[in-house]
Amino acid sequence: MNRLLKGPARAIGALIAGFLIFAGLLTASPASAADADPSTFAYTIAGTLQQDDTPITGVTIIASKDAEKFETKSDEFGEWTIMVPTDGIWKVELDTTTIPKEFNLANKDGAVNEADLSQTDFAAVLFKFGTDVVVKQSFTDQLLVRVFAGFNFGLMLAIAAIGITLIYGTTGLNNFAHGEMVTLGAMMMWLFYSFFQWNILVAGLVAVAAVTAFGWAQDAGIWKPLRKRRLGLNQMMIVSIGFGIVARYLILLFFAGDTKDISGAATVIQLGPIFTSDVTLVSMVISVLALLGVAYFLTRTRIGKATRAVSDNSSLAASTGIDVERIIRIVWVVAAALTGLAGVLYGLQFQGNWSMGYDILLLLFAAVTLGGLGAPLGAAVGALIIGMVVEVSTLFMPSELKYVSALLILIVILVVRPQGVLGKKQRIG
Amino acid sequence: MANDISVGKAEPGCKKIDPILVADNVTRQFGGLTAVDVKHVEIPRGKITALIGPNGAGKTTFFNLLTGFDKPNTGTWTYEGKDLAGMPSYKVARLGMIRTFQLTKALSLLTVIDNMRLGAQGQAGEGFFKAFIRPLWSANEKRITAKADELLTRFKLDAKREDYAAALSGGQRKLLEMARALMSDPKLVMLDEPMAGVNPALTQSLLEHIKDLKNNGTTVLFVEHDMHMVRNISDWVIVMAEGKIVAEGPPSQVMKDQAVIDAYLGAHADTDLGTVAINKIKVGK
Amino acid sequence: MDIIQILSLALNELVAPMTVGYILCAIGLAVHFGFTGLLNFGQAAFAALGAYGYGYAVLVFGWDLWGAILFGLICAMAFAALLGIPTLRLRADYLAIVTIAASQALRFTVGSSTAAPITGGSAGQSQFGESFYALNPFPEGEYNLGTVTLTNLELWMRVVAWGLVAIAALFVFALTRSPWGRVLKGIREDEDAVRALGKNVFAYKLQALVIGGSIAAFGGMVFVMSSQANEPTNWGTNFTFITWTILLLGGAATILGPIVGGMVFFALLTLIESFLEILVNAGLLPFLLIEQVAQIRFLLVGLILMLLVIFRPQGFFGNKKEMQFNG
Ligand SMILES: Nc1ncnc2c1ncn2[C@@H]1O[C@H](COP(=O)(O)OP(=O)(O)OP(=O)(O)O)[C@@H](O)[C@H]1O
Ligand SMILES: [Mg+2]
């Protein structure tokens, strides 16, 4: 056996040969799912059917995936549960012929839904009955509401986007693992604030500190050694994709896949047509202060000026005596702190889950691209625009497509003005 | 002074008896800096012309503009009477105007011989559909391989034939790039500092090769800082400084030109440039 | 589950249609990245368009197999052209961002209820394989291949899938040995140098994008055909990342790389998952829940991707020097 372990290729060869021998000995027939006892299944889909608080009884609900199908009926409380054997996305639908006449679905496509069991073992599925309550608002009011929401969202994107752009500016890395710092910020906030019930300020500070430490460790443990090895930038980008996946799924393993309620008690505040909360208003103020702080840091402090010099031309900066590696380390720490803060604020307002940061990663890239990669204050402006576009676009198109508009902007910008927006065109010759 | 290349007196922008390339009002700005500002220049056909000038004079940028690798702010130029302004670089190359780069562009992870084969033009096998039908291109492949081998021998690269270009030394890459440019039998070769970093012993044989090119009717335009080489092989010298053409003429005459000496050494020098090792004042290479 | 079952499961994964779907996409990506140097991070979109185009032609137009395949192919090619014409002039890393953004935008759109009349929305498409399975030449019954038992339809699916892999591999092999392939490799190394030699670099890049995308479209069709279910969630960025991992595992600038890379990757994942499950069931890994084992899969994808790029960018088969990244 020792002999086999000499080279990886041999080991793999041996492994494959091993399969062939073992597998040749049998004809496996995995137990068909339909024969098994559903109550032993590991995954659960459940929900309650009701219209205006009246339970709907006796409706057939069918969960299906691939060739497998399981069904149940809603009970006297309108509740139903289906156990299924495997993970993945299950299609859940109501047999509309079994819905009693006095009840009606809120919209005609509403009988089909899906349960995402790819990351968890339980999924709740909601079917809407009755008339959809649409509060009629005047267009200007709606616009005001959206602009406010866009501004708020844009501010949060801005502090995370500045992190991306600082790192890109000083190291040339398109960091695809940036979203995970947002997620980590929110998850830490959940841990300290919602779970340990610490004071909100203390929890927030500790959460940001944790992400900051993560950023520092990331640079020291991965990026600095890779820079030392002179790994190409495209290669580094792929490494960051891999690292992002690892970080994302580690977060999932530790924090599970459910949505974390981080908000705590927020007081609703009405500003004209806009309903908002004290948490939102305070977080907007914090975002603005953070942005002003960054602007001050970059333009007024010695280290900030050195950072800009490194972004401009790192070899020139090095030759004027700037310690480029030190600047990069500081940039990672600052970027991680800002991004962690974005995660904390995002989580406080919109809850959080394991993939929240990844979900907005491309929006961050869009913001950074719009403002000019490597130009921190441009990124902030870009983020505000992207946030606004995402929110305001919902007035004109289905809200499920709101990220699509931002992605299209990203594509158009890159196509139309890649070097103009992103910096200098490369030299030829 | 009379000569057999220009129509009248040799002066910046003078007319040539038989020009292959004519450029007018070509300018290129980078931000506030005007890198190229050429009022009028003509390149004589079938001759070896040297383009010289201090670092940052705009020589490479001018090459880039002429070959379609960069877009000028203003200007037109014709090659063999054809208007080239706005033409994409690959079309320029197909017309027989082939350039090399100052910062060598050897295709690192292709073998030396594949680098050479890539230089040949009009290959049927480079079309997508014909690529599948080997008989359509195998004969041509043999022909260009033979030609490539001949050039490699001439450039002393035959021993490296099967190596990746990445494994070549800096000077060898320069040679490879030049040899590759010759694969297509260009009418006009534009060499950007072909001898920089090449062993002096080899330089001599390459100079002979460049002269051979001329004898076969190829026009050569090259950028060079080595004044010995310029004096040795060129029939005509064009001097650029700060984007403008400041002098033109046969080498012996230009080397004595006060404007040229000023451009290179500042206003106080009075030496004949041919005796100065210009390499010593090159910076940042 | 005993060890023999695990091994047979892993062996089954080696040849499963899903594995083949990924392998085809990885072969397409080899054309993009391995031979031309295009950083395409939207391979999922090409596969999705193949699958959706096929499904749409069958379910809505009522076309037969060949027409539907052609339609799926045309959808992917049109997407390649639409994406390529404006973006192939961009620097390599911008292309990566554009392609990943385009593929995400496509996924959000096809999965939306707005697009449901065309794409089936979040539920996707199903039961579109009748004309494909109708061509099945194998008589009904169970086929014992020594390691697994398949129905005649499952056997048919696998035969066709692997036939496609063979064709795609030969196709790419022929191309890369031709002067055409030489130009692609030249572009991968330095597109300006190739331009200076009179080659229309843009046209070559576009051809490469379209060809690699077409192979991925077949991958997408194979991917959804065995279950006859095409859901938008299949085509997230994880699909693309797995394809990249497979490609880099085998060797980006090789023909056999994507094939062996895909087989080894899925067999390895199944083995690891199964062993983890055993350990968890035996109570040896108290910190891990049984349903979390599936999440380890992606963790491994990320880890393998990182380590490969850092330590062995040439993969199993690549020549140490042949594959490095420029930039
Ligand atoms: N892409 C660019 N962006 C900004 N400035 C540029 C660019 N390319 C060239 N320049 C500037 O234009 C001027 C001319 O440069 P060019 O490379 O043409 O000089 P050169 O004559 O080839 O010099 P050398 O002999 O050192 O090669 C220089 O001042 C250079 O800094
Ligand atoms: Mg130059």
d(CA C227, CA C230) in angstroms, rounded, equals 8
Beta strands at C229-230 and C125-126: parallel, antiparallel or unpaired? antiparallel
Any idea which of A285-294, B156-165, B226-235, C86-95 has the lowest mean pLDDT? C86-95
Identify whether residues A92 and A199 lie together within a single domain: no
Other beta carbons within 10 angstroms of residue B152's beta carbon come to 22
Give yes or no for residue B61 CB within 6 A of ligand 1: yes
Among A114, A136, A158, residue at a domain's last position:
A136
Asked if residue C101 lies in contact with residue A360, where contact means CB atoms within 8 angstroms, the answer is no
A193-219 pLDDT, tens digit per residue, is 988 888 989 999 999 999 999 999 999
* CB pair distance less than 8 Å for A23 and C305: no
Of A78, A104, A136, the domain-final residue:
A136
Whether A190 and A315 map to the same domain: the answer is yes
Indicate whether A34 pLDDT > 80: no
Do A262 and A299 belong to one domain?
A: yes
Whether A378 and C90 have beta carbons less than 8 Å apart is answered as no
HSE-up of residue A142 (Cα within 13 Å, Cβ side): 12
Has residue A265 been placed in a domain? Answer: yes
Residue A56 lies in a domain: yes
Q: How far A426 CA lies from chain B's nearest CA (Å)?
A: 11
Q: Distance (Å, rounded) from C-alpha B191 to C-alpha B181?
A: 9
In chain C, residues with a C-beta closer than 8 Å to the C-beta of B137 are 178-179
Q: Which residues of A208-243 are buried (b: 16+ CB within 10 A; e: fewer)?
A: bebbbebbbebbeebbbebbeeebbbbbbbbbbbbb
d(CA B151, CA A379): 52
Q: What residues pair up with C52 in beta bridges, in sequence order?
A: none
Are A405 and C101 contacting, i.e. CB atoms less than 8 angstroms apart? no
Considering the domain boundaries, does residue A165 fall inside one?
Answer: yes
Q: What pLDDT, on the 0 to 100 scale, is given for residue A422?
A: 44
What percent of chain A clears pLDDT 90, i.e. is strictly above it?
A: 31
Same domain, A131 and A154: no
* Domains, chain C, ordered by start: 3-326 (1.10.3470)
A68 lies in the same domain as A173: no
CATH code, domain with A63: 2.60.40.10
Beta strand pairing call for B188-192 and B97-99: parallel
Per-residue pLDDT tens for B152-197? Answer: 998 889 999 999 998 888 888 888 999 999 999 999 999 998 888 7
Question: Cβ distance C45 to C105 under 8 Å?
Answer: no
Report the sign of the C-alpha dihedral through residues C261, C264, C266, C269, in that order.
Answer: negative
- pLDDT tens by residue, B250-273: 888 887 777 777 777 554 444 555
Domain count, chain A: 2
| A235: chain C residues, CB-CB within 8 Å | 309-310, 313, 324-325, 327
The pLDDT tens digits of the residues spanning C174-203 come to 999 999 999 999 999 999 999 999 999 999
Residue in the structure block whose two tokens are 């398949």:
C150
User: What CATH number is attached to the domain comprising A228?
Assistant: 1.10.3470
Residue C110 has pLDDT above 60, yes or no: yes
Q: How far apart are CA A386 and CA A370, in angstroms?
A: 9
**Closest ligand 1 atom number to CA of residue B31:** 4
Distance from CA of A104 to the nearest CA of C (A): 20
| Residue range(s) defining the domain that contains residue A131 | 38-136
Both A398 and A285 in a single domain? yes
Domain regions of chain B by residue span: 19-106+186-283, 109-167
The CATH superfamily assigned to B19-106+186-283 is P-loop containing nucleotide triphosphate hydrolases (3.40.50.300)
- Closest ligand 1 atom to the C-alpha of A428? 1
Residue with the two structure tokens 């603005």: A288
Distance, CA of A371 to chain centre = 21
Summarize the confidence of residues A76-93 as an average pLDDT: 83
Report yes or no on A15 lying in a domain: no
Residue C320 and residue B164 in contact, taking contact as beta carbons nearer than 8 Å: no
Angle between the C256-281 and C237-250 helix axes, to the nearest 10 degrees?
A: 110
Mean pLDDT across chain A, nearest whole number?
81
- The phi and psi torsions of B128 (rounded to 5 degrees) equal -60, -50
A282 and A335 housed in the same domain:
yes
Helix or strand holding residue A407 (H, E):
helix A402-416
Is this model's pTM higher than 0.95 or not? no
Distance of alpha carbon A8 from alpha carbon C318, whole angstroms: 15
Q: Indicate if the pLDDT at residue A36 is higher than 90.
A: no
* Residue A112 · residue A75 · CB < 8 Å: no
Residue B58 Cα to ligand 2 midpoint, Å, equals: 7
**Helix C92-110 × helix C237-250 angle, to 10°:** 140
- In the structure, what pLDDT confidence band is assigned to residue A373 with cuts at 50, 70 and 90? low
Q: How would residue A70 be classed by pLDDT, with cut points 50, 70 and 90?
A: confident
Q: Are residues A235 and A379 in the same domain?
A: yes
Smallest CA separation from ligand 1 atom 17, residue: B60
Evaluate if residue C54 carries a pLDDT over 90: yes
Question: What is the rounded CA–CA span in Å between residue C74 and residue C56?
Answer: 12
| A328 Cβ contact partners less than 8 Å away, ≥ 6 residues apart | A170, A171, A219, A224, A227, A310
B222 touches A at CB < 8 Å: no
Residues 121-180 of C with CB under 8 A from A: 121-123, 144, 146-149
Task: Spell out which residues of chain B touch residue A428, defining contact as CB-CB under 8 Å.
Answer: 64, 69-70, 101
- Domain membership flag for residue A9: no
> What confidence score (pLDDT) does residue B156 get?
87
Average pLDDT over residues C248-264: 89
C149 → chain A, closest CA residue: A27
Token pair of B150, please?
Answer: 């001949």
pLDDT band at C279 (very low <50, low <70, confident <90, very high): confident
- Residues A171 and A286 placed together within one structural domain of the fold: yes
Taking CB atoms and an 8 Å limit, are C101 and A252 in contact across chains?
Answer: no
| pLDDT given for residue B268 in this prediction | 45
Helix C92-110, helix C65-87: angle, nearest 10:
140
Which site among A45, A241, A396 would you substitute to test the C interface, given the most C Cβ atoms closer than 10 Å to its Cβ? Answer: A241
Residue B95 gets which letter from DSSP? T
Q: What is residue A69's three-state secondary structure?
A: strand
Is pLDDT at C93 greater than 60 in this prediction?
yes
- Of the ranges A327-341, B63-77, B82-96, C291-305, which one carries the lowest mean pLDDT score? C291-305
The residue that leads in pLDDT, C43 or C308, is: C43
Do A336 and A289 share a domain, yes or no? yes
The pair of structure tokens assigned to A104 is 């009606």
- Of A248, A263, A243, A131, the C-alpha closest to C309 is A243
What is the H or E stretch that residue A155 is in? helix A139-171
User: Quick check: helix, strand or coil at residue B74?
Assistant: strand
Give a yes or no: residue A24 inside a domain.
Answer: no
Distance, CA of A4 to chain centre: 44
Same domain (yes/no): A153, A131 = no
Q: Which residue has a Cα nearest atom 18 of ligand 1?
A: B58
Nearest to B90 among C181, C195, C322 (CB): C195
- The more confident residue out of B103 and B117 is B117
Taking all residues of chain C, what is their mean pLDDT, rounded to a whole number? 88
- CB–CB of C302 and A243 under 8 A? yes
What's the rounded Cα separation, in Å, for the pair C221 and C49?
9
Same domain, A209 and A226: yes
Cα separation, B145 vs B147, in Å, equals 5
Q: Is the pLDDT of residue C167 over 70?
A: yes
- Encoding tokens for residue C46? 């090409």
Domain boundary among A136, A155, A189: A136
Neighbours of B174 (CB within 10 A): 27
Ligand nearest to the CA of B36: 1
Take residue C32 and report the two structure tokens written for it: 């993009």
Q: Which of the two residues, A10 and C236, has the higher pLDDT score?
A: C236
Q: What is the spatial distance between Cα A389 and Cα C44, in angstroms, rounded to a whole number?
A: 26
Cα B210 to ligand 2 centroid, rounded to whole Å:
20
At residue B32, the pLDDT reads: 82
Within a domain: A170 = yes
H or E stretch including C182?
helix C179-189
Residue of B36, B61, B246 with the most ligand 1 atoms within 8 Å of its CB, for mutation = B61
Report how far residue A273's alpha carbon sits from residue A267's, in angstroms, rounded to the nearest whole number: 16
Contact call for C197 and B180, based on CB within 8 A: yes
pLDDT number for residue A3 = 38
